[in-house]
């Protein structure tokens, strides 16, 4: 269950993203939220309820297509980003890559694939 979204939120399907103005003036992770679908990152072995909806805290966009985000679950704070895939009708949260625990990455050298 999620709290009600802000009146000026962007809505895509069942998901939504609150307006960027809520992250100002600091630009940090304050009160701006998004209701997103959890998407697996093959370079991060963390187990989450992928495919399910969750509320994350979001900051201001750091690139044209991603917004830094944090998911709090089971006492952990998981860094990642919110994005929308081309042709997709939902906002998604993807955990950051973790080269120290990824089976296909070499720390400091990147992905072996």
At 90, is the pLDDT very low, low, confident or very high (cuts 50, 70, 90)? very high
Omega of the bond leading into 111 within 30 degrees of 0 (cis) = no
* Pairwise pLDDT comparison (3 vs 42), residue with the higher score: 42
For the chain, give the mean pLDDT. Answer: 82
pLDDT at position 92? 93
Closest C-alpha to 17, from 60, 52, 77: 60
Cα separation of 53 and 111, whole Å? Answer: 29
The string of pLDDT tens digits covering residues 22-73 is 777 766 767 889 999 999 887 777 888 999 999 999 988 887 788 999 999 8
The owner of tokens 């679950």 is 73
The residues spanned by each domain of the chain are 10-111
Both tokens of 16, joined, read: 């939504």
* Region 86-108 average pLDDT: 79
């Amino acid at each position: 269950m999620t709290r009600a979204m802000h009146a000026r939120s962007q809505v895509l399907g069942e998901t939504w993203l609150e307006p960027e103005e809520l992250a100002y003036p600091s630009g940090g992770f304050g009160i701006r939220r998004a209701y997103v679908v959890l998407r697996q990152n093959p370079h991060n072995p963390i187990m989450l309820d992928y495919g399910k909806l969750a509320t994350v805290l979001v900051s201001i966009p750091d690139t044209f297509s991603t917004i830094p985000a944090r998911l709090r679950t089971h006492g952990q704070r998981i860094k990642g980003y919110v994005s929308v895939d081309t042709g997709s009708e939902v906002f998604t949260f993807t955990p950051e890559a973790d080269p120290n625990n990824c089976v296909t990455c070499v720390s400091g050298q990147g992905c072996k694939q």
